[in-house]
Protein backbone atom coordinates (compact mmCIF):
# COMPACT_ATOMS: atom_id res chain seq x y z
CA UNK A 1 0.00 0.00 0.00
CA UNK A 2 0.84 3.65 0.03
CA UNK A 3 1.80 5.88 2.92
CA UNK A 4 2.36 9.62 2.59
CA UNK A 5 3.54 11.50 5.64
CA UNK A 6 3.45 15.26 6.12
CA UNK A 7 4.12 17.56 9.09
CA UNK A 8 0.83 18.26 10.82
CA UNK A 9 1.27 22.02 11.13
CA UNK A 10 3.53 24.79 9.84
CA UNK A 11 3.45 28.46 10.87
CA UNK A 12 5.05 31.36 8.99
CA UNK A 13 4.67 35.12 8.60
CA UNK A 14 3.39 37.07 5.64
CA UNK A 15 6.00 37.52 2.93
CA UNK A 16 8.04 34.54 4.07
CA UNK A 17 8.86 31.31 2.24
CA UNK A 18 7.64 28.00 3.59
CA UNK A 19 8.33 24.40 2.55
CA UNK A 20 5.87 21.59 3.18
CA UNK A 21 7.39 18.13 2.95
CA UNK A 22 5.86 14.86 1.88
CA UNK A 23 7.66 11.58 2.43
CA UNK A 24 6.21 8.44 1.03
CA UNK A 25 6.52 4.69 1.11
CA UNK A 26 5.33 3.06 -2.04
CA UNK A 27 6.29 0.35 -4.44
CA UNK A 28 5.82 2.73 -7.32
CA UNK A 29 3.54 5.51 -8.39
CA UNK A 30 2.72 7.78 -11.31
CA UNK A 31 3.79 11.06 -9.76
CA UNK A 32 3.08 13.41 -6.87
CA UNK A 33 0.28 15.97 -6.75
CA UNK A 34 -0.49 18.78 -4.32
CA UNK A 35 -3.85 20.18 -3.24
CA UNK A 36 -4.94 23.15 -1.15
CA UNK A 37 -8.03 23.08 1.02
CA UNK A 38 -9.40 26.07 2.91
CA UNK A 39 -11.54 25.45 5.99
CA UNK A 40 -15.04 24.52 4.88
CA UNK A 41 -13.97 24.24 1.25
CA UNK A 42 -13.05 21.53 -1.20
CA UNK A 43 -9.52 20.50 -2.18
CA UNK A 44 -8.22 22.34 -5.23
CA UNK A 45 -5.38 21.12 -7.40
CA UNK A 46 -2.09 23.03 -7.19
CA UNK A 47 0.58 21.07 -9.02
CA UNK A 48 1.73 17.70 -10.32
CA UNK A 49 5.25 16.29 -10.66
CA UNK A 50 5.45 13.37 -13.04
CA UNK A 51 9.23 13.49 -13.12
CA UNK A 52 11.98 14.32 -10.67
CA UNK A 53 12.77 17.99 -10.34
CA UNK A 54 11.11 21.31 -9.74
CA UNK A 55 7.81 22.51 -11.20
CA UNK A 56 6.99 26.20 -10.81
CA UNK A 57 3.53 27.74 -10.93
CA UNK A 58 3.57 31.36 -9.86
CA UNK A 59 4.29 31.67 -6.14
CA UNK A 60 4.06 27.90 -5.72
CA UNK A 61 6.70 25.36 -6.68
CA UNK A 62 6.75 21.62 -6.19
CA UNK A 63 9.68 19.24 -6.12
CA UNK A 64 9.99 15.48 -6.44
CA UNK A 65 12.88 13.11 -5.81
CA UNK A 66 11.94 9.50 -6.44
CA UNK A 67 15.31 8.22 -5.27
CA UNK A 68 14.75 9.88 -1.89
CA UNK A 69 11.01 9.04 -1.74
CA UNK A 70 10.44 12.69 -1.01
CA UNK A 71 8.69 15.71 -2.35
CA UNK A 72 7.84 19.19 -1.17
CA UNK A 73 5.65 22.17 -1.90
CA UNK A 74 7.33 25.56 -1.69
CA UNK A 75 5.19 28.64 -1.13
CA UNK A 76 6.83 32.01 -1.66
CA UNK A 77 5.74 35.53 -0.72
CA UNK A 78 3.22 34.12 1.70
CA UNK A 79 -0.13 35.83 1.95
CA UNK A 80 -2.83 35.53 4.60
CA UNK A 81 -5.05 33.77 2.08
CA UNK A 82 -2.50 30.94 1.89
CA UNK A 83 -3.62 29.81 5.36
CA UNK A 84 -5.13 26.43 4.55
CA UNK A 85 -4.45 22.71 4.65
CA UNK A 86 -2.14 21.25 2.04
CA UNK A 87 -2.16 17.63 0.92
CA UNK A 88 0.19 15.63 -1.23
CA UNK A 89 -1.42 12.82 -3.21
CA UNK A 90 -0.46 9.88 -5.40
CA UNK A 91 -2.15 7.47 -7.71
CA UNK A 92 -1.53 3.90 -6.55
CA UNK A 93 -0.15 1.88 -9.49
CA UNK A 94 -1.79 -1.27 -8.13
CA UNK A 95 -5.21 0.25 -8.67
CA UNK A 96 -5.29 2.62 -11.61
CA UNK A 97 -7.87 4.93 -10.09
CA UNK A 98 -6.88 4.51 -6.46
CA UNK A 99 -5.88 8.08 -5.61
CA UNK A 100 -4.86 8.67 -2.02
CA UNK A 101 -3.92 11.70 0.03
CA UNK A 102 -1.15 12.39 2.50
CA UNK A 103 -1.79 13.13 6.14
CA UNK A 104 -2.06 16.87 5.44
CA UNK A 105 -0.30 19.99 6.69
CA UNK A 106 -2.15 22.90 8.21
CA UNK A 107 -0.40 26.17 7.27
CA UNK A 108 -0.98 29.23 9.41
CA UNK A 109 0.20 32.55 8.00
CA UNK A 110 0.63 35.28 10.59
CA UNK A 111 0.48 39.01 9.93
CA UNK B 1 -17.78 23.95 -17.77
CA UNK B 2 -14.98 23.13 -15.32
CA UNK B 3 -17.07 22.40 -12.26
CA UNK B 4 -18.25 19.48 -10.24
CA UNK B 5 -21.66 20.19 -8.68
CA UNK B 6 -22.79 18.41 -5.54
CA UNK B 7 -26.22 18.46 -3.94
CA UNK B 8 -27.34 18.90 -1.28
CA UNK B 9 -24.74 21.10 0.42
CA UNK B 10 -26.01 20.10 3.85
CA UNK B 11 -27.99 17.06 4.92
CA UNK B 12 -29.28 16.02 8.34
CA UNK B 13 -30.74 12.56 8.62
CA UNK B 14 -31.80 10.07 11.22
CA UNK B 15 -30.37 6.60 11.48
CA UNK B 16 -33.44 5.06 9.86
CA UNK B 17 -33.67 7.46 6.93
CA UNK B 18 -32.80 6.85 3.29
CA UNK B 19 -31.23 9.72 1.41
CA UNK B 20 -29.00 10.29 -1.59
CA UNK B 21 -26.08 12.56 -2.42
CA UNK B 22 -25.75 13.67 -6.02
CA UNK B 23 -22.77 14.74 -8.11
CA UNK B 24 -22.62 16.04 -11.67
CA UNK B 25 -19.79 17.03 -14.00
CA UNK B 26 -19.73 18.08 -17.65
CA UNK B 27 -16.00 18.06 -18.29
CA UNK B 28 -16.07 14.75 -20.14
CA UNK B 29 -14.18 13.05 -17.32
CA UNK B 30 -14.61 9.28 -17.30
CA UNK B 31 -13.38 8.68 -13.74
CA UNK B 32 -15.50 9.77 -10.78
CA UNK B 33 -14.75 9.42 -7.10
CA UNK B 34 -16.42 9.56 -3.69
CA UNK B 35 -14.35 10.58 -0.70
CA UNK B 36 -15.25 10.93 2.96
CA UNK B 37 -13.51 13.59 5.02
CA UNK B 38 -13.62 14.07 8.76
CA UNK B 39 -12.53 17.32 10.37
CA UNK B 40 -8.77 17.93 10.27
CA UNK B 41 -8.21 14.67 8.36
CA UNK B 42 -7.33 13.95 4.72
CA UNK B 43 -9.98 12.85 2.24
CA UNK B 44 -10.48 9.10 2.49
CA UNK B 45 -11.26 7.23 -0.72
CA UNK B 46 -14.56 5.33 -0.75
CA UNK B 47 -15.46 4.46 -4.35
CA UNK B 48 -14.21 5.04 -7.87
CA UNK B 49 -16.14 4.64 -11.11
CA UNK B 50 -14.38 4.50 -14.44
CA UNK B 51 -16.45 4.45 -17.63
CA UNK B 52 -19.55 4.09 -15.45
CA UNK B 53 -18.30 0.84 -13.92
CA UNK B 54 -17.34 0.45 -10.27
CA UNK B 55 -13.56 0.24 -10.28
CA UNK B 56 -12.69 0.55 -6.61
CA UNK B 57 -14.63 -0.09 -3.40
CA UNK B 58 -12.43 0.58 -0.41
CA UNK B 59 -14.26 -1.87 1.87
CA UNK B 60 -17.01 0.63 2.50
CA UNK B 61 -19.97 -0.59 4.62
CA UNK B 62 -23.02 -1.61 2.60
CA UNK B 63 -25.07 1.19 4.13
CA UNK B 64 -23.31 3.33 1.49
CA UNK B 65 -24.36 2.39 -2.03
CA UNK B 66 -22.85 4.15 -5.04
CA UNK B 67 -24.45 4.48 -8.44
CA UNK B 68 -23.25 5.90 -11.73
CA UNK B 69 -26.29 6.33 -14.03
CA UNK B 70 -24.24 7.89 -16.85
CA UNK B 71 -20.87 9.46 -17.55
CA UNK B 72 -21.89 12.78 -15.98
CA UNK B 73 -23.69 11.67 -12.85
CA UNK B 74 -22.64 9.96 -9.65
CA UNK B 75 -24.90 9.20 -6.72
CA UNK B 76 -24.27 7.95 -3.22
CA UNK B 77 -27.28 6.30 -1.61
CA UNK B 78 -27.37 6.35 2.18
CA UNK B 79 -29.36 4.00 4.38
CA UNK B 80 -29.29 3.17 8.08
CA UNK B 81 -26.27 5.35 8.73
CA UNK B 82 -24.55 5.71 12.08
CA UNK B 83 -23.61 8.95 13.85
CA UNK B 84 -19.94 8.23 13.10
CA UNK B 85 -20.78 8.54 9.40
CA UNK B 86 -21.23 12.28 9.89
CA UNK B 87 -18.62 13.90 7.66
CA UNK B 88 -18.02 15.93 4.53
CA UNK B 89 -18.61 13.80 1.45
CA UNK B 90 -16.64 14.92 -1.56
CA UNK B 91 -17.20 13.99 -5.16
CA UNK B 92 -14.38 14.37 -7.66
CA UNK B 93 -13.69 13.61 -11.29
CA UNK B 94 -10.63 13.22 -13.48
CA UNK B 95 -9.55 12.20 -16.92
CA UNK B 96 -8.96 8.50 -17.30
CA UNK B 97 -5.32 8.61 -18.34
CA UNK B 98 -2.18 10.67 -18.80
CA UNK B 99 -1.40 13.70 -16.68
CA UNK B 100 -5.10 14.45 -16.35
CA UNK B 101 -5.64 11.26 -14.37
CA UNK B 102 -3.58 12.85 -11.61
CA UNK B 103 -5.60 16.06 -11.49
CA UNK B 104 -8.83 15.68 -9.56
CA UNK B 105 -11.53 18.32 -9.71
CA UNK B 106 -13.63 18.33 -6.54
CA UNK B 107 -17.14 19.46 -5.85
CA UNK B 108 -17.86 21.67 -2.86
CA UNK B 109 -18.99 18.68 -0.86
CA UNK B 110 -22.09 17.56 1.00
CA UNK B 111 -21.88 17.97 4.75
CA UNK B 112 -23.77 15.10 6.34
CA UNK B 113 -24.96 14.96 9.92
CA UNK B 114 -26.46 11.72 11.22
CA UNK B 115 -28.52 12.04 14.37
Q: Cα(A105)–Cα(B41) distance, rounded to whole angstroms? A: 10
Q: What per-residue confidence (pLDDT) applies to A53?
A: 96
B92: which residues sit within 8 A by CB, 6+ positions away? Answer: B4, B32, B33, B35, B104, B105, B106, B107
Give the pLDDT band (50/70/90) at residue B98: confident
- Binary contact (A99, B107; C-beta < 8 A): no
Ramachandran region of residue A34, left (φ > 0), alpha (ψ -120 to 50) or beta?
Answer: beta
Q: A36 pLDDT exceeds 80?
A: yes
In chain B, whose CA is at the least distance from the CA of A104? B42
Q: Which of B102, B104, B105 sits opposite A31 (nearest CB)?
A: B102
Statement: residue B85 has pLDDT above 80: yes
Amino acid sequence: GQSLEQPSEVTAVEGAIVQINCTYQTSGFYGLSWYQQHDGGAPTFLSYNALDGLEETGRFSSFLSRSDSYGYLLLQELQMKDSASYFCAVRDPTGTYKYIFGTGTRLKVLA
Amino acid sequence: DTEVTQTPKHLVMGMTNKKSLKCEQHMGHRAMYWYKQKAKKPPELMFVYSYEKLSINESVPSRFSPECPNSSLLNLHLHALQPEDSALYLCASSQEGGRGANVLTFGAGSRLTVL
